[in-house]
Structure 1
Amino acid sequence: MSLDARFPAISDLRTRARRRLPHFVWEYLDSGTGSEATTRRNKACFDDVRLMPSILHGEITPDLKTSLMGQDFNLPVGIAPLGMSGMIWPGAEQHLARAAARAGLPYTLSTVATQKPEDLIDVIGEHAWFQLYPPRDPDIRTDMLERIRNAGFSTLVLTVDVPIASRRERQIRSGLTTPPRITPRILAQIAIRPAWAMGMAGRGMPRMRFIDDYAPDTKGLPSNKHAGYLLRTSPDWSYLTWLREHWDGPLIVKGVQDHRNVPRLQSEGVDAIWISNHAGRQFDAAPATIEALPRIRAATDLPIILDGGVESGLDILRALALGADFVMMGRAWHYALAALGPRGPDHLVHILKSDLEANMGQLGLARPQDAANRLPPDGA
């Protein structure tokens, strides 16, 4: 039976991933914070976006190619950063970077991944982005930026929606600590997930290797805080100014939700706005990202990237219709890895491409960027 017959949708990958991951890993990947109202709101608000089917438009050959910040991509979607990615599946960072390179998509490595930027030199493609949790110390900042640049990452993404650690109660209940520690409870969860356990056997429990170079001693940290919090600051506008002066490539600010911040971001010289509420993992009263999109679109002519609640090719078209230029997904790529191993990300590319083409055929669209033309007329 083909992969398409067994796993035709992201929901199928998610179901299989849950069966193959230890409980504490699943809770880390799939959980939000609080009652997870923001996570649910992200998806519910996507479902409320209607698009008008087209008739009598004849045969259409979809062209999914997308340009963003002077770079060309084969689909209007990329791989968002996910901290401790290598805990979700052994070698996740390398697998995802290779898959992105094969597919012609951007891959974003997190500051708190389990691999250093240098570990991916041989596998990243031309669209390598790096997500920065802002270090407090200027010397550490400077050194990090130099290493990121020398490793071949061309685009820097500053995350601004994590001023402090969130609680993420499901993770706490699962027994997960950061970094993970082997306890009898965790060991029991690992024992019943042999595929994950065998993959991790030669690697040891994952750590934030990049952060370890600057903060090797994590003793005494609360269980909901990782080593990055020993280095991190909550950035202000002067921090962004410093970063713009010291990074000569494209600079994206991730975690924007309020349109009133956008004019100043534009005046500070950022190259794109990334609308994100951290997939509901930080604050449980945030607006859905798709709710924030129209006002932010009206406030700027900069490229807009969006994540949060995107679960299909149709959702990608919904985001583009309301003004996004590009969409990023994080959890879905890790569901794919956990479900199918290294072949999972390639299958997810196939799912998204097929779904985009099928829905574009219904909408009479040759290009996904034209999705706004299929919004219902006022009053419909």
Structure 2
Amino acid sequence: MEIDHQYPTLNDIRRRAKRRLPRFVWEYLDSGTGEETAKARTGAALDAVTLTPRALKSAATPDLSVTLMGRRHPLPFGFAPVGMSGLVWPGTESMLARTAAREGIPFCLSTVAAASPEDLAPDIGDQGWFQLYAPGQPDIRRDMLARARDAGFHTLILTADVPVPSRRERLTRAGITNPMRMTPGVIWQAAQCPAWALATARSGIPTLRTLAKYADTSTTHSGTGHVGYQLRTAPDRAYLETLRREWAGKLVVKGVLHPGDAADMAELCDAIWVSNHGGRQFDAGPAPIDALVTIRDAVGPDIPLICDGAVRGGTDILRLLSRGADFVMLGRAPHWGAAAFGQRGVDHVVHVLRAGMIADMGQLGLTRLPDIGRPAFPTDSNER
């Protein structure tokens, strides 16, 4: 099968991934919170941004490279952290790490992934970022930072948009419990997807590999539940200041939507990550691309802004860059690739995005990405 002919878009890959996954796994990956208006708003706001093609401009092959926090990347996007990626398909974290290392783009490993920093050290090369859910115990925090550093992860991402657990109503309807139990309904759903069930049976039920060593076995709680309790600290400015002292590498705060918050933290971090957590935390929040504009105005041109949210192709990456982002991260899309085709699917996601950007930049008359940024490339009705 020629994958590029039958699955030329990310939506094509998404549809195949959905067919291959049990309902509870798909709901875990795809769901938002509440009525999912934030999730819908994120995509609609992105679709509303138009970029005007130019005539009689150079058709030279564009340069897609960018420099972010002192590192050059051949492409302006990377892979965002997703908890329990190994539930979507066994070994997904390793697939993402290998593709990232080969392409020279960042992969951000979640604290609650099914692989640890040590697991990925052989695969990640020098593209490792580590996402931190703020531990309440300082000794656990310091140990996690040391493990990430020793495994070669050079950039720390503090997630700041989970002060309390969110409600995931679609997960409840799909029969998922916390901690997860193999109920008859879950078993039945798994049986409908034999490829996923066989792959999972071979690799074993995924666990929180980074957190396993911190589980207090003297309690009656499950390991996952007890470690989750330890991670319930809502980080504040003092916590960020502590991380700045304890972490020698680059430091990014993820989950910022308010321009005042961005301005307040800019002096303490190397980049700010504009994100609404895929619409999974707060249903009344703004779309990241809308927040991006106000945050760029608040912090000025110098601090890098990373953004995510509903990217379905290279056009969406250009839209985000045109509104002030320096770099774009993708969460769900590479997981669609892993579920659809394994390692080949993750590689294909990168191919689709790269090809789309090259085609679109030709239409826009651009040969380099910085030329798309505001105000050099206006996107509103006042452009001439």
Question: For this structure pair, what is the TM-score category when the shorter chain's length is used for normalisation?
Answer: over 0.9
Please give the alpha-carbon distance, in whole angstroms, between the structure 1 residues aligned to 2:380 and 2:189: 52
Q: CA deviation at 1:216?
A: 4.9
TM-score normalised according to structure 1 size: 0.96
Corresponding residue for residue 125 of structure 2: 125
In the alignment, is residue 177 of structure 1 matched against residue 180 of structure 2? no
Secondary structure of 1:122's aligned partner: helix
Change (3 A) 1:377 1:32: closer
> In the alignment, is the contact (CA less than 8 A) between 2:86 and 2:92 conserved in 1?
yes
Deviation by residue 1:1-36 (Cα, 9 ceiling, x = unmatched):
411111011100110001000110000000000000
Please give the alpha-carbon distance, in whole angstroms, between the structure 1 residues aligned to 2:229 and 2:105: 30
Deviation by residue 1:58-83 (Cα, 9 ceiling, x = unmatched):
32211111110001111100000000
Q: CA deviation at 1:123?
A: 0.6
Corresponding residue for residue 33 of structure 1: 33
Amino acid of the structure 1 residue aligned with 2:229: Y
Secondary structure of 1:305's aligned partner: strand
Corresponding residue for residue 285 of structure 1: 284
Secondary structure of 1:327's aligned partner: strand
Segments of structure 2 that go 5 or more residues without pairing to the other structure are none
Change (3 A) 1:100 1:179: farther
Alignment of 1:219-298 (within 5 A): 227-267=227-267, 269-298=268-297
> In the alignment, is the contact (CA less than 8 A) between 1:271 and 1:303 conserved in 2?
yes
The 4+ residue runs of structure 1 with deviation greater than 6 A are none
Corresponding residue for residue 82 of structure 1: 82
Aligned residues: 377
Please give the alpha-carbon distance, in whole angstroms, between the structure 1 residues aligned to 2:371 and 2:43: 22
Secondary structure of 1:252's aligned partner: strand
Change (3 A) 1:228 1:369: farther
Change (3 A) 1:58 1:264: closer
Corresponding residue for residue 191 of structure 1: 191
> In the alignment, is the contact (CA less than 8 A) between 2:49 and 2:379 conserved in 1?
no
Amino acid of the structure 2 residue aligned with 1:358: A
Q: CA deviation at 1:227?
A: 3.9
Q: CA deviation at 1:163?
A: 0.7
Please give the alpha-carbon distance, in whole angstroms, between the structure 2 residues aligned to 1:359 and 1:78: 19
Change (3 A) 1:284 1:219: farther
Change (3 A) 1:219 1:330: farther
Q: CA deviation at 1:110?
A: 0.2
Amino acid of the structure 1 residue aligned with 2:32: G
What's the % identity of the aligned pairs? 53
Deviation by residue 1:211-235 (Cα, 9 ceiling, x = unmatched):
12112558658x9x78423333011
Segments of structure 1 that go 5 or more residues without pairing to the other structure are none
Secondary structure of 1:374's aligned partner: coil
Change (3 A) 1:226 1:179: farther
Change (3 A) 1:26 1:219: farther
Alignment of 1:63-212 (within 5 A): 63-212=63-212
Please give the alpha-carbon distance, in whole angstroms, between the structure 2 residues aligned to 1:115 and 1:219: 25
Secondary structure of 1:339's aligned partner: helix
Change (3 A) 1:97 1:364: same
> In the alignment, is the contact (CA less than 8 A) between 2:216 and 2:226 conserved in 1?
no
